[in-house]
Structure 1
Amino acid sequence: MKHILLACASGMSTSLVVTKMEESAQAKGIDARIWAVAQDKAETEMKDADVLLIGPQMRFMKKKLSKVGDELDVPVDSIDPVAYGRMDGKTILEHALELLEREL
């Protein structure tokens, strides 16, 4: 099972992306736990994640969260703003899976 964590300023808009990602994962037969949290919970939740994607509005936190990710062996990247704006769960899921592949 893949554990994909998303973080954004409040966790609200990203929860819509989670739903779209879950639909895409199910369609592809991928067993995944995908969840969203507010930025203040990201570091704590990373211990349960295989990958962290941060909302475009949080790009300024990428460096800080990447340091935590390095310690936990959790890749961290920003969600593409266009994919995020379109709520393109398929593209965002594919990005998360690519990050996981790089770690192998």
Structure 2
Amino acid sequence: MEKMKVLLVCAGGMSTSILMQKMSKYWQENGLALDIKAVGLSEYQDVFQHYDIVMVGPQVSYRMKEIIENTALPTAAIPSFDYAMANCPNIMKLAQKLYAEK
């Protein structure tokens, strides 16, 4: 399977970088390749061209419409509970659903 390229967008990139590490580990444990990067709202437009999907932290989900318009990539907000608990199985399901739309 080809490597899934996920761009995580949050307010500043800090809390998302913790989630990013947990997601990378979870994908690896499940035998899947993942290329993931966490960026803040100010950065995503500089890098989105290198990614397949965009996942948005709940704290910036109000900007999702703008992100979709700017990137034209499959995009979804990570549910607050899954984000807070770093619920990688649920986040992975959401990512796979988005990836299937690309």
Q: TM-score, normalised by structure 2?
A: 0.91
Q: What is the distance in 2 between the residues matched to 1:44 and 1:78?
A: 20
Query: SS at 2:36's partner residue?
Result: strand
Going by fraction, where is helix more abundant, 1 or 2?
1
Which aligned runs of 4 or more in structure 1 are off by greater than 4 angstroms?
none
Q: What is the distance in 1 between the residues matched to 2:81 and 2:96?
A: 18
Q: Does 1:87 align with 2:89?
A: no
The CA deviation at 1:56 is 0.3
The CA deviation string for residues 20-70 of structure 1, in whole angstroms up to 9 with x for no partner, is 111111011111111101110012211111000010000111010011222
Query: SS at 1:40's partner residue?
Result: coil
- Percent identity (aligned): 27
Query: SS at 1:52's partner residue?
Result: strand
Query: SS at 1:30's partner residue?
Result: coil
Amino acid of the structure 1 residue aligned with 2:12 = S
Q: What is the distance in 2 between the residues matched to 1:90 and 1:45?
A: 26
Query: SS at 2:6's partner residue?
Result: strand
Q: What is the distance in 2 between the residues matched to 1:26 and 1:42?
A: 25
Aligned residues: 100
Structure 2, gaps ≥5 residues long: none
Q: What is the distance in 2 between the residues matched to 1:2 and 1:86?
A: 22
Retained in 2: the 8 A contact 1:51–1:76? yes
Q: TM-score, normalised by structure 1?
A: 0.90
Q: What is the distance in 1 between the residues matched to 2:63 and 2:28?
A: 30
Which residue in the other structure is 1:26 paired with? 28
Retained in 2: the 8 A contact 1:17–1:88? no
